[in-house]
Amino acid sequence: MNRLNLLFLIIITMAVYRPLAAQNKALAVIDFKSLAPKLQASGDSLKIVNFWATWCRPCVEELKYFKLAADTFSSQKVKFIFVSLDFKSQKEKVEQFWAKNKIKGSIYLLEDDPNKWINQIDSSWTGEIPYTLIIPSNSKSSKVNGELKNYTELQSLINNNLTK
Amino acid sequence: MKTQTKTFAALLILLASMAFTLKTTGYKVGDTATDFKLKNVDGKFVSLKDYSNAKGYIVIFTCNHCPYAKAYEQRIIELDKKYSPQGYPVVAINPNDPVSYPDDSYDNMVKRSKEKNYPFPYLIDETQDVAKVYGATKTPHVYLLDKSLKVQYIGAIDDNSESAKEVKDKYLEKAIAELLQGKPVTISETKAVGCGIKWKKTN
């Protein structure tokens, strides 16, 4: 190929590579003190916080609904936050899973004693996952304790909690 | 009876019936647990009353497949080795649906208990009724009972699922130590993350 085409090819590759590389970035491992502010109601956006783990089959199954929701609602004021409860020794596994699935949203690995943080989120939650928090910008939070049955359930939750 | 009394009586009955329906299913600390008769990996049936010398029981809902259960497996073995001679045997119960989780089938329970030489009974809760009555929601989920089957502690084994070496707080052992000393349990409920119990799909 001639030099001009080669140059174009290089530019195109760089343009494509950078966004792809960004999705493989390192996973932030945080404690509850760092996570807590992210669970506060935002001034203007609905926050959807999903607690999951790579080893949790129902969690992985419902993530496809979250992926679709994150894409569908990308132009609306909805923030998706995903909190992995995988062991910190499995960090790379989580990173690979996340890069492969390309779900839009923030992803963290929570490393902290559940006995200290579970009750701060929900005293009736006995620690089983999946678990999803729905934090509207200006009304009361709610939760889904267990897996979502289908995409419609998630879609309804989002639509019902978006500020009119 | 005066109308007012009748009204109050009716209201009281209504409230009492609501109290029963609003109650969260499962045991709270202080409740008296039921005994059970479940099949062990050796084919025999086991009940808590079989332990005539026990001072109490460490009932643990656990299973084969769950990474949290696996991470705690050795610690559960050690708990039994340490506390069974002191009157608190471990009684492990697998409540999961083997249809959706074949790793948790009876045959696989037998296999695992032999591989690791479990010193405690590993019982199958086939109907999942015991898990429901206890209110277990995940594996592992601990219920520490005293001799009269009163629930003295519910929740986590310790504060670090992933690594026994990094454990700082041995919640369950502290509770057992207090019971052994005839003292009330100071921290009677703790939280931990675990795999949700795999309930059978009903029609």
ipTM reported for the complex, 2 dp: 0.79
The pLDDT tens digits for A69-84 are: 999 999 999 999 999 9
A99: exposed, middle or buried (Cβ count in 10 Å: 0-12, 13-18, 19+): middle
Res. B6 pLDDT band, cuts 50 70 90:
confident
Strand partners, B159: none
Nearest to B156 among A115, A124, A146 (CB): A115
Q: Test A118 with B191 for CB contact under 8 angstroms.
A: yes
Q: What angle do CA B150, B152, B157 make, to 5 degrees?
A: 135
**In the 8-state DSSP scheme, what is residue A41?**
P
Residue A119 in contact with partner chain B when CB distance is under 8 A: yes
The CATH number corresponding to B28-196 among 1.10.287.70, 3.40.50.300, 3.40.50.1820, 3.40.30.10 equals: 3.40.30.10
Q: Test A126 with B171 for CB contact under 8 angstroms.
A: no
Which A positions 74-113 lie with beta carbon below 8 A of chain B?
85, 87-89, 113
CA dihedral for A70, A75, A78, A84, sign (positive or negative): positive
Mean pLDDT for the stretch of residues A57-68: 96
Closest Cα to residue A132, out of A124, A118, A123, A142?
Answer: A142
Q: Test B155 with A113 for CB contact under 8 angstroms.
A: no
Q: Test B191 with A114 for CB contact under 8 angstroms.
A: yes
Q: Test B195 with A118 for CB contact under 8 angstroms.
A: no
Q: Test B162 with A119 for CB contact under 8 angstroms.
A: no
Q: Test A115 with B162 for CB contact under 8 angstroms.
A: no
Instruction: Please check the confidence at residue A91 and state whether its pLDDT lies above 70.
Output: yes
* Contact by Cβ (8 Å): A53, A86: yes
Instruction: Please check the confidence at residue B31 and state whether its pLDDT lies above 70.
Output: yes
Strand partners, A46: A78
**Domain boundary assignment for chain B:** 28-196
Percent of chain B residues past pLDDT 90, beyond the cut: 86
- Residues in chain A closer than 8 A to B195 (CB atoms): 55-56, 128-129
Q: Test B191 with A89 for CB contact under 8 angstroms.
A: no
Q: Test A127 with B192 for CB contact under 8 angstroms.
A: yes
- Residues in chain B closer than 8 A to A144 (CB atoms): none
Closest Cα to residue B121, out of B55, B36, B192, B179?
Answer: B36
Task: Give the pLDDT score at B201.
Answer: 87
* Contact by Cβ (8 Å): A65, A151: yes
Res. B87 pLDDT band, cuts 50 70 90:
very high
Task: Give the pLDDT score at B3.
Answer: 75
CA distance B152 to chain A (A): 17
> In chain B, which residues touch A (CB < 8 A)?
24, 66-67, 71, 137-138, 141, 155-156, 159-162, 169, 171, 190-197
Please state, in angstroms and rounded to a whole number, the distance separating the CA atoms of residues A56 and B69: 13
The pLDDT tens digits for B113-151 are: 999 999 999 999 999 999 999 999 999 999 999 999 999
Q: Test A127 with B138 for CB contact under 8 angstroms.
A: yes
* Contact by Cβ (8 Å): B65, B196: no
Task: Give the pLDDT score at B198.
Answer: 94
- Residues in chain A closer than 8 A to B161 (CB atoms): 87, 114
The pLDDT tens digits for B169-183 are: 999 999 999 999 999
Instruction: Please check the confidence at residue B22 and state whether its pLDDT lies above 50.
Output: no
Mutate to test the interface with A, among B191, B198, B199, B201 (most CBs of A within 10 A): B191
